[in-house]
Homo-oligomer: A and B are copies of this chain.
Amino acid sequence: MSHIKTAILGASGYTGAELLRLLEHHPHFTITALTGDSQAGKAMHDVYPHLRHRELPKLVKHTEVDFSNIDLVFCCLPHGTTQEIIAGLPAKVKIVDLSADFRLFDVAQYAEWYGHEHRAVELQKSAVYGLTEHARDAVKKARLVANPGCYPTSILLPLLPLVKEKLISTDRITIDSMSGVSGAGRSPKQEMLYSELEGGASAYGVGKHRHTAEIEQQLGFMVSFTPHLVPMTRGMLSTIHVQGDAAKIRAALEAAYKNEPFVHVAATPPSTHSVRGTNLCVMSVTAGRLPNETIIVSVIDNLVKGASGQAVQNANLMFGFDEATSLIATAVFP
């Protein structure tokens, strides 16, 4: 059994912790280094008591890691900081980057949406956008995979097959998504306090959320995308309004995903509960009330298929393993 020496950069964030959960029983990826610059020197269980029973390396600064000894890096750093760090890694290290830093192929687009110039323009050219089910061949050969955003994952999985088969109009696709709070990360912010969120819902980033750029890049046209924050920790639901025939759309999605371990077409609109803690994306197709309207509802766990799970799925492919390795799980319900 091969052992892939694995580092997680930014392991003190939620996606880092989730990688550790998902990799607990992975037969090949061995956790060799964990970085967290502000928490360097601490044991992981000081930062995350739920990891108390795990044997894990201490958190160190990323400058303390001997990357010549590392085969695989999961990069969970905030966008912006990631580019230069990744650019400095040895050529033999394979990387799955969970930040937004390498998702936009056009660095001008990046600069526009993220407010500063891209700092690793050459490296950007080699990055593969890792929506696994639609990028397997490229991912297998990639050195650097840009792991998709959570919203784009929930939206592109249903839409890409329909666009490819020209089953829907590209005009005025309207998407309202709602997300669990964990997507905002673990840094303390007033608006993410429990007391500010329990029992309430809101829209945010209306007309300008950064994930729009990613969605439009992959689709090739503009969409209306509005995210909402609802009082739950995990889970993401996208309700997608398209113009096209519901029966054909359903048939196309069932055909596209019939052999996929992680993407399922359900008979009725799914709850995010069905995917909590799993790498699944479940979607439904229902005829709407307006002429030719079809409503697709798609759910994922934002921390798994929307982040750390898809990252493991990509890493599995990059190293030639079955992509489902260590990822098959039943949702934690209730």
Contacts and interface: CB of A to CB of B under 8 A. Distances in A.
B24 A289 contact: no
Contacts of A273: 49-50, 196, 199-200, 202
Task: Bin chain A's interface residue count.
Answer: 35 or more
Interface in A48-88: 48-54
Interface stretch (A27-35, A136-144, A183-191, A310-318): A183-191
A195 interface: yes
B202 A271 contact: yes
Interface stretch (A93-101, A114-122, A157-165, A225-233): A225-233
Sort A-B residue pairs by CB-CB distance and give the 6 closest, nearest first.
A188-B188, A176-B176, A200-B273, A202-B271, A195-B334, A50-B331
A91 interface: no
A266 B232 contact: no
Interface of A: 14, 17, 20-21, 24-25, 48-54, 172, 174, 176, 178, 180-182, 184, 186-190, 192-204, 206-208, 212, 222-226, 228, 230-235, 237, 239, 241, 261, 264, 266, 268-277, 280, 282, 284, 286-290, 293, 295, 297, 299, 303, 328-334
Given A264-B53, A270-B49, A286 B207 contact: yes
A290 B241 CA distance: 14
Contacts of A200: 232, 235, 271-273, 276
Nearest to A236: B201
Given A52-B264, A178-B228, A225-B289, 9 more contacts: A20-B330, A52-B274, A53-B261, A178-B230, A186-B196, A194-B198, A201-B237, A203-B239, A224-B290
Contact of A334 (B206, B233, B289, B331): B233
B271 A201 contact: yes
Contact of A290 (B222, B228, B261, B268): B222
16 contacts: A50-B274, A50-B333, A188-B188, A193-B194, A195-B233, A195-B334, A196-B273, A199-B199, A199-B235, A201-B232, A201-B237, A202-B272, A203-B237, A223-B289, A225-B289, A276-B332
Contacts of A234: 199, 334
Nearest to A237: B201
Contact of A201 (B187, B195, B230, B282): B230
A98 to B, nearest CB: 16
